[in-house]
């Protein structure tokens, strides 16, 4: 089975983004390889112009599950996002210095796309690594929200989640990557059931 894992590179105000490091660590997971999982891990560029590239990546790879990470630098604990919203923050610049052209990501899409995965077991999987994760109804209006909304639209039946992480130490990144291995396995188990 195929697992697509994404995180982000640096952007204005965040020079060291742990989400990309987490995604790449999961991509090297010996545990998932032993389980026969083909992991495709990517560090996304934090630009609105890269959203079509993400859509094309999802369309070409046709993953069985999608696990996404991003940073929420002001939070203290990880958050599992319940939904993506069709909105942007027009005053926020991306890593290229560009502002979104519209308040909406897609003029023809719904206002909200909900995650279709039971999140409580996933929250507990993160908690087993020593974190105190919460569930969130607001993925923000920046690129984290944009990639979640895009992924949910590209493959609506594919188990897809987005995890916001706080600033993390090296040990925190290691523990979150370990949690991510479990999250990936759980998402693929759900994909097998559907």
Cα distances (Å, whole numbers) of residue 178 to 31, 66, 126, 170, 190: 10, 16, 9, 13, 19
The whole model's pTM is what?
0.96
One digit per residue, the tens of pLDDT, for the chain of length 194 reads 999 999 999 988 888 999 999 999 999 999 999 999 999 999 999 999 999 999 999 999 999 999 999 999 899 999 999 999 999 988 888 999 999 989 999 999 999 999 999 999 999 999 999 999 999 999 998 999 999 999 999 999 999 999 999 999 999 999 999 999 999 999 999 999 98
- Record the tokens describing residue 192, joined without a space: 């097998």
The structure tokens listed for 114 are 């909900």
Q: Which domains does the chain have, with CATH numbers?
A: 2-193 (3.40.630.20)
């Amino acid at each position: 089975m195929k697992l697509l894992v994404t995180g982000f590179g640096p952007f204005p105000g965040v020079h060291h983004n742990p989400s990309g490091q987490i995604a790449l660590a999961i991509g090297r997971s010996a545990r998932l390889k032993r389980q026969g999982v083909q992991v495709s891990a990517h560090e996304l560029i934090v630009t609105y112009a890269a959203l079509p590239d993400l859509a094309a990546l999802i369309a070409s790879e046709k993953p069985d599950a999608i696990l996404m990470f991003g940073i929420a630098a002001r939070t203290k604990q990880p958050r599992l996002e319940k939904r993506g919203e069709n909105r942007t923050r027009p005053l926020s610049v991306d890593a290229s210095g560009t502002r979104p052209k519209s308040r909406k990501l897609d003029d023809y899409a719904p206002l909200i796309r909900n995650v279709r995965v039971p999140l409580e077991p996933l929250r507990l999987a993160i908690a087993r690594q020593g974190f105190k994760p919460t569930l969130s109804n607001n993925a923000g209006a920046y690129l984290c929200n944009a990639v979640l909304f895009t992924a949910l639209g590209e493959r609506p039946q594919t188990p897809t989640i987005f995890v916001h992480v706080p600033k993390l130490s090296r040990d925190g990144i290691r523990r979150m990557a370990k949690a991510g291995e479990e999250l990936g396995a759980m998402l693929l188990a759900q994909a097998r059931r559907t």
